[in-house]
Amino acid sequence: MSEIEPRELRDAFGRFMTGVTVVTCLDEAGRPVGFTANSFSSVSLSPPLLLVCPGKFLSSFKAFSACSSFAVSVLSEGQEDIANVFAGYKGDRFARVDHTPNCDGIPLIDGAVASFSCRTHQVMPAGDHSILVGEVREFAQSPGRGLGYSGGQFFSLGLEHKARDPGARKNICGALVEVDGGVLLKASPEGYGLPECVAPDRTSLRVCLRNELQELGMDVELGPVYSVFDDPSQGIHFAYLLAKATHVSLPAGFERIPFSELPGLTFKSAATARMLERFAEEARTRNFNLYLGDAVSGETHQIQERA
């Protein structure tokens, strides 16, 4: 049997489409804790059981291993920001998200399509996670669609339908602006992103981006296109250009991140993370390739070689 490469296995697991939940409980001190989880599954109707798998890496792992009750909120379409807060934000997650305490005082996320308040039925160790089985004591549901997750991306069936209408497609154009062995990134609670603009159509991406960068006070020389992809789930067409700053004064909210530090950062989307991981690698050899594809897979084509 060939050796299993964890990253490839994670990608393969990620091809299984799921919904997205936020799992919450109270820690020993009675403080609410929570994390985003797509390992949720219904288990049994009689008795009413569900499960979720908290990872040992979670700062709240101890709380979930010891809790006598917990809750699961199934996020609805449009609640990607909440999923990102409960997946990455390191401060007080509950201060950022509207919630309501359940019968045990455990927060339920407002606007969720379903919520389940559970008494802990069983906790089983399972490799680098545990399997937390809950007996449902109370539940609620509301009309509307749940948020989807597949291949490291959120998706919404509603937007998916809209995306079939070409008129609904949005064009986002961004730049990988190089400054002194680093790249300009915009920090946000959801993770780092690139300077971007929304262009009215695909014929004016460069003009729109140049204007946007100038408004931010960046003088840049726009280079070749580096990455072009569609995200049908959001109905967005993305195009990113290589760029070099000719005048550097960091606009508010932007940081210069050295290439070597890019692989360790949290980005606001999996597609941005993959693009910057490739950029960091290619910047070492100055051998850049153009990516053409969608937000999950595509092909690269060599565009230039620089000394």
Ligand X SMILES: Cc1cc2nc3c(=O)[nH]c(=O)nc-3n(C[C@H](O)[C@H](O)[C@H](O)COP(=O)(O)O)c2cc1C
CB of 87 to ligand X, least distance (A): 4
* Composition of the chain by helix, strand, coil, percent to 5: 25, 45, 30
Q: Which is nearer to ligand X, 39 or 65 (CB)?
A: 39
Q: Which is nearer to ligand X, 43 or 250 (CB)?
A: 43
Distance in angstroms (rounded) separating the CA atoms of residues 72 and 65: 15
Contact characters 211-230, ligand X, x per CB under 6 A: --------------------
37 lies in the site for ligand X, by CB under 6 A: yes
88 three-state secondary structure: helix
CB of 185 to ligand X, least distance (A): 20
CB of 167 to ligand X, least distance (A): 30
CB of 207 to ligand X, least distance (A): 35
Q: Which amino acid is at 199?
A: A
Q: Which is nearer to ligand X, 237 or 274 (CB)?
A: 274
CB of 38 to ligand X, least distance (A): 4
Can you point out the beta strands (E) in 21-128? 21-26, 32-37, 41-44, 49-52, 69-74, 99-101, 107-109, 114-126
* Piece of 32-40, 112-120, 188-196, 230-238 that binds ligand X (CB under 6 A): 32-40
Is the distance from CB of 147 to CB of 80 less than 8 angstroms? Answer: yes
What's the token pair of residue 165? 């209408």
Q: Which of 31, 18, 239, 281 is nearest to 147 (CA)?
A: 18
Distance in angstroms (rounded) separating the CA atoms of residues 132 and 52: 5
Number of residues located near ligand X, criterion CB under 6 A: 18
Q: Which is nearer to ligand X, 59 or 141 (CB)?
A: 59
Residue from the set 116, 149, 192, 229 that interacts with ligand X by CB under 6 A: 149
14 lies in the site for ligand X, by CB under 6 A: no
CB of 29 to ligand X, least distance (A): 15
In the beta sheet, which residues pair with residue 241?
A: 175, 225
Contact characters 55-94, ligand X, x per CB under 6 A: x--xxx----------------------x--xx--x----
36 lies in the site for ligand X, by CB under 6 A: yes
137-174: b (≥16 Cβ within 10 Å) or e: eeeeeeeeebbbbebbbbbbeebbeebeeeeebebbbb
269 lies in the site for ligand X, by CB under 6 A: no
35 lies in the site for ligand X, by CB under 6 A: yes
Task: Find how far residue 124's CA is from the centre of its chain.
Answer: 28
Distance in angstroms (rounded) separating the CA atoms of residues 288 and 6: 27
CB of 283 to ligand X, least distance (A): 27
Q: Which amino acid is at 3?
A: E
What's the token pair of residue 46? 């009689």
* Piece of 50-58, 67-75, 112-120, 240-248 that binds ligand X (CB under 6 A): 50-58
Distance in angstroms (rounded) separating the CA atoms of residues 203 and 230: 16
CB of 246 to ligand X, least distance (A): 37
CB of 21 to ligand X, least distance (A): 8
Q: Which is nearer to ligand X, 62 or 244 (CB)?
A: 62
Q: Which amino acid is at 144?
A: G
At residue 117, φ and ψ (nearest 5 deg) are -100, 125
Q: Which residues in this chain contact ligand X in the complex, by CB under 6 A?
A: 20, 35-39, 53-55, 58-60, 83, 86-87, 90, 129, 149
